[in-house]
Structure 1
Amino acid sequence: MMKKLLLAVAALVATMGFAFAQVDVNKADAAALDAVKGIGPAKSKAILDERAKGEFKDWADFEARVKGVGEKNAMKLSEAGLMVNGKSRDGAAAKPAAAKPMQTAAKGK
């Protein structure tokens, strides 16, 4: 019973690593691109077709050459782990939550 539990935990940890993997658009094959949330077979084919004409220089080049990828979609793809030349898209990182002011003392006491 303990072996099964440890095996299940190990499998879960191993799959979590793949969920957060970074995929470089200039190096990835179709399967790696398909693994990125927001990219399906049609989009990965479009990416590979454009890449065959030359590597993507940066995110602006990627957005200009791949039909259906604009600024908003590029941000989502970057947040899902897609990179161009090892770089995430500017502004794609999650924004930290705003700090809330602390209450120092209860009123009326």
Structure 2
Amino acid sequence: MKRFVTSASMALLWSCGIQAAAALDANTATQAQLEQLRGIGVAMSEKLLAERARQPFESWADLLSRVPGIGPRGAARLSDQGLRVGGQTYEPPPR
């Protein structure tokens, strides 16, 4: 039984580690980390970093208003890949 608990604990820790590694905040990510996301290339990562250097992003709405080329659909895709703004996932505005 002890061996099972140890294996189960290790599996849980491993899966939590994968989850934590997958989350990436737009206010702290490096250019290389941003460019690993599908939909962000060199030009887009440079836009993000330039705007972030002026002032950190307060929310997804702030990011979308300041970074041309990222709209609601792009924000949803990036959020699905683990990008966060202030730890928050993207939630589309209510219709």
What band does the TM-score fall into relative to the shorter chain?
Answer: 0.7 to 0.9
Q: After TM superposition, which residue ranges in structure 1, 4 or more long, deviate above 6 angstroms?
A: none
Q: How many percent identity over aligned positions?
A: 40
**Equivalent pair of 1:23/1:36 in contact (CA under 8 Å):** no
Alignment of 1:12-51 (within 5 A): 17=18, 21-51=22-52
Unaligned runs of 5+ in 2: 1-13
Amino acid across the alignment from 1:34: E
Distance 2:38 2:24 in 1: 11
Pairs aligned (count): 75
- Length-normalised TM-score, structure 1: 0.63
**Cα RMSD after superposing both structures:** 1.8
Alignment of 1:64-103 (within 5 A): 64-90=65-91
Distance 1:90 1:78 in 2: 9
**Cα distance, 1:29 vs structure 2:** 0.8
1:64-90 alpha-carbon deviations (Å, 9 max, x no partner) = 000101111111111111100011111
Unaligned runs of 5+ in 1: 1-12, 92-109
Distance 2:77 2:43 in 1: 17
Distance 2:84 2:39 in 1: 14
**Cα distance, 1:58 vs structure 2:** 0.1
